[in-house]
Structure 1
């Protein structure tokens, strides 16, 4: 009798864990409160931007730097715990002579609505089309972590001068299986983002930068992208960096500069 009781308890515990993971997957994948809590102050010269989506939600962004006829616009898409202000400040610190724009994801305050992979992908096109109404300058899309999927989606559907993928994954489903191998993620995951399908057979010049000690997006989750990207102009692994300490690594900053310089040279031809 004790054996069947044990089996029942284990079954109930497992079922409970699976249900919790399924019910809270959106909060785990899109930690909006964490992103809002880490919002840094912007310099006085920062310009607030606003775009309205087709379903009436407001996307709030920030512009740092000034438009240049000779340098592409850098359009940044942050990780799931980043906010647009932090993305813009970081990119502006790397490239102070460029115009940098980033938007808070849907559901990330002060943007409205609720976050989802589908919404983030669609919103990238809305943002790009809005910016293209202002000017026709080249755009370099830069995606960090989950933002790499958003940037890849944009490059798949719109013409950009370059694409930089930082700690990208082949698919959100494969990454979920990596972290929740005990759960039937293929059945439960409501958020789909297959980056490998977005970059496959796309001619966009692409740079990929991976952290060798990454435990959040393990380096082997980026490996399938290398053979899928037909125009991989820079492929760099920062061996002694992790997911969160990558951004201050000198080799990472050098790789970012190298990638942007290559895109700029190609755009000026």
Structure 2
């Protein structure tokens, strides 16, 4: 094969691969598990939220003990509500209320996931909490991995008690660019540009990351930290992208939440 033909073949291959990634990227970014829980675990009850584009979504909820704030939790892209229960087990043991959000297209929910859709799902969950009499100022927003996107957006829109990002990223194009440098970042349709939003979040911010995370690398933590210099930061030695489920993460999250408890919830002020 001549150099000209080889060059043309490579060009066609790259264009075809890029086109495939562009059209199929949401299947790669949002690999909703085919198996999902048929009912909530002990301590939770099944509830439904209503999005502004007409979707009725399932979620799991458990009420807070007196004097404890409520956590709204956004799980990672390959997870479901069972995983969310494991990632928040320490907070549940601490007596915090929990609303575990399930996305459109996940867990038997209607719709297809995407950035705008996940923001609508988060907004629906915040509205549901308001109908339960839980003010935004009494809510701690927690996002794991891709859940850092809707979590940051909700903390930007609402006067919440705190924002906590676990294995969060600065933006989705940053993650894609680090994993597949040949893909132009402009082709990533869902941006989740967390770093550009953090400075405008009024609530305290907590960032936790594993120093052995190869999927969402610690470089993302560094960018988030530059965007929010006053954030509390925990870099966990030896932890990978599964950080949220570890005992170390549970202990760190509980300690930080207990520190927030020194500021009384709005309902008690």
If the length of structure 2 is used for normalisation, what is the TM-score? 0.90
Distance 2:264 2:17 in 1: 51
Structure 1 residue 202: Cα displacement? 2.4
List gaps (5 residues or longer) in structure 2: none
Measured in 2, the distance between the counterparts of 1:213 and 1:257 equals: 22
Contact 2:36 2:81 in 1 (8 A): no
2:167 is matched with which residue? 167
Q: How does 1:54-203 map to 2 (within 5 A)?
A: 54-64=52-62, 66-96=63-93, 97-137=95-135, 138-186=138-186, 188-203=187-202
Summarize the alignment of residues 43-62 of structure 1 with structure 2, pairs less than 5 Å apart: 43-62=41-60
Q: Distance in 2 between matches of 1:99 and 1:261?
A: 13
Whether 1:260 aligns to 2:232 is: no
Moved more, 72-81 or 258-267: 258-267
Farther off after superposition, 132-141 or 234-243: 132-141
Deviation sequence 1:43-68 (CA, Å, 0-9, x none): 2443111112122111110113x333
The answer on whether the counterparts of 1:203 and 1:231 sit within 8 Å (CA) in structure 2 is no
CA distance in 2, matches of 1:247, 1:191: 23
RMSD (Å) for aligned C-alpha atoms = 2.0
Q: CA deviation at 1:24?
A: 1.1
Tell whether the 8 Å contact from 2:18 to 2:183 is kept in structure 1 after alignment. Answer: yes
How far is 1:131 from its partner? 1.1
Contact 1:59 1:106 in 2 (8 A): yes
Helix, strand or coil at the partner of 2:181: coil
Determine helix, strand or coil for the equivalent of 1:95: helix
User: Which sections of structure 1, spanning at least 5 residues, go unmatched?
Assistant: none
User: Aligned equivalents of 2:47 and 2:19: distance in 1?
Assistant: 39
- Take 1:202 and 1:115, find their aligned partners in 2: how far apart are those partners? 24
The answer on whether the counterparts of 1:92 and 1:100 sit within 8 Å (CA) in structure 2 is no
- The aligned residue for residue 210 of structure 1 is 209
Query: Contact conserved, 1:107 with 1:115, CA < 8 A, in 2?
Result: yes
The answer to which of 5-14 and 90-99 deviates more is 90-99
Q: Displaced runs of 4+ in structure 1, greater than 4 A?
A: 38-41
C-alpha distance in structure 2 between counterparts of 1:248 and 1:43, whole Å: 17
> Using CA pairs below 8 Å that are at least 6 residues apart, which structure has the higher relative contact order?
2
Paired positions, count: 263
The aligned residue for residue 222 of structure 1 is 221
Aligned to 2:10: 10
